[in-house]
Structure 1
């Protein structure tokens, strides 16, 4: 798929599903996405006063979690290219009264920040939706300070026989049906299956981390490999 075509398609998807996005995440992951994010939070190891960017922040759940950890002395930027998704994030920011959170409509392929602007970076279930994975990883590396940490939580490719087939049957057939029944969005959730099925496995993504300039890369497999947390340090 051409990069611009993918960008337009993904933008349309998230502009449409934003109202039911959080509820659908809980439904299709059997509420596991919250547990996975807590595990990813442990690897981020955010500290009071840190400056963090949450790329492809969506409705802002991870952004707000990070804001709690850095405190008022810190700063968290949540960046996403869907203004509708950011509307939900802004409601969460207002509810939490987080003045140290900045929500930005921006492009993950061209982050609007100077080199070495952040101590840590996160991207949760967003990398698979960008036009070019390596470009985004390089951009995140660029805006991190030396020694800065990137934590990526994403779907992955399980290698377990039978389990792998069941996983793809669920994603290909059941998830779009659930999307139609509970969010009125069959085609949009069919796209999410497509983006997950084409996403690199854990080894391939680790190599992309290396190519982007990250070192000390670690991988934590989740639920038999259907999701994974990658962590890398900027050299």
Structure 2
């Protein structure tokens, strides 16, 4: 039953992202009030990407983080996503960035990565972990493909705990955001999925514990914008990041 539920979620999420791909970047700016750019910039500062290193960006979507990793100096960046519609937009952005020589894009599943063990210095996933059928499996895969001492990094929506901000956030996320999706992208049900996906997603402290459960150490969890989003970073045992 759990496997069936996972497959149904995977299929539904795939349909959602295939559908919203043309308006994805615009809607990200609208629903986050452009804060997603600042959150990603904060993540990059905390990662301190070293020149000449390698990175894999899972659920890379339209490739903003993929491109940021290459611009930070990574010599090889691999982006992977299961939505061809999202990847097609990402391919155009990679070409426009002038970084195509250092970025390769793959159509694939974050649950079963087509990469060897210990292949990358960094593994990132931005606003995708809450959408996968089994987040522990994805984190295990990210850990597997990262070198000893490498970083596993997740940036995602989270759950504020401070009242009255939490009540205002819940009102916005559950009721107003789907309306914005209907107005600006003609996609109400698809943007209704986003708050539903967050309701089952672990909070910041719980996700940090899951990072430790899959074997990551030196786990750090940062609340962003009052807990609206959170950055998690863990280190693979066996070396220094």
TM-score range, shorter chain: over 0.9
Q: 1:111 aligns with which of 103, 113, 118?
A: 113
1:54 corresponds to 2:57:
yes
1:20 corresponds to 2:23:
yes
Give the aligned partner of residue 218 of structure 1.
220
Q: Does the aligned pair in 2 maintain the 1:79–1:106 contact within 8 Å? A: yes
Report the TM-score, using the length of structure 2 for normalisation: 0.95
Give the aligned partner of residue 41 of structure 1.
44
Give the aligned partner of residue 195 of structure 1.
197
Q: Does the aligned pair in 2 maintain the 1:209–1:217 contact within 8 Å? A: yes
Partners of 2:173 and 2:199 in 1: how far apart? Answer: 8
Q: Deviations over 1:151-203 (max 9, x none)?
A: 21111111112211111111111111000110010000000111122210011
Q: Deviations over 1:126-157 (max 9, x none)?
A: 10000011000000000000000112111111
Q: Does the aligned pair in 2 maintain the 1:168–1:197 contact within 8 Å? A: no
Poorly superposed stretches of 4+, deviation over 6 Å = none
Please state how far the C-alpha of 1:70 moved relative to its aligned partner.
2.1
Q: 1:157 aligns with which of 156, 159, 165?
A: 159
- SS of the residue corresponding to residue 172 of structure 1 reads helix
CA RMSD of aligned residues (A): 1.0
- SS of the residue corresponding to residue 72 of structure 2 reads helix
Which runs of no fewer than 5 residues in structure 1 stay unpaired? Answer: none
Which runs of no fewer than 5 residues in structure 2 stay unpaired? Answer: none
Q: Does the aligned pair in 2 maintain the 1:67–1:101 contact within 8 Å? A: yes
Report the TM-score, using the length of structure 1 for normalisation: 0.97
Give the aligned partner of residue 30 of structure 1.
33
Please state how far the C-alpha of 1:97 moved relative to its aligned partner.
2.2
Please state how far the C-alpha of 1:48 moved relative to its aligned partner.
1.3
Please state how far the C-alpha of 1:9 moved relative to its aligned partner.
0.6
Q: Deviations over 1:32-82 (max 9, x none)?
A: 0000000001122111111100011110000001111225xx100011000
Tell me whether 75-84 or 192-201 shows the greater mean CA deviation: 192-201
Partners of 1:83 and 1:34 in 2: how far apart? Answer: 23
Please state how far the C-alpha of 1:117 moved relative to its aligned partner.
0.4
Give the aligned partner of residue 128 of structure 1.
130
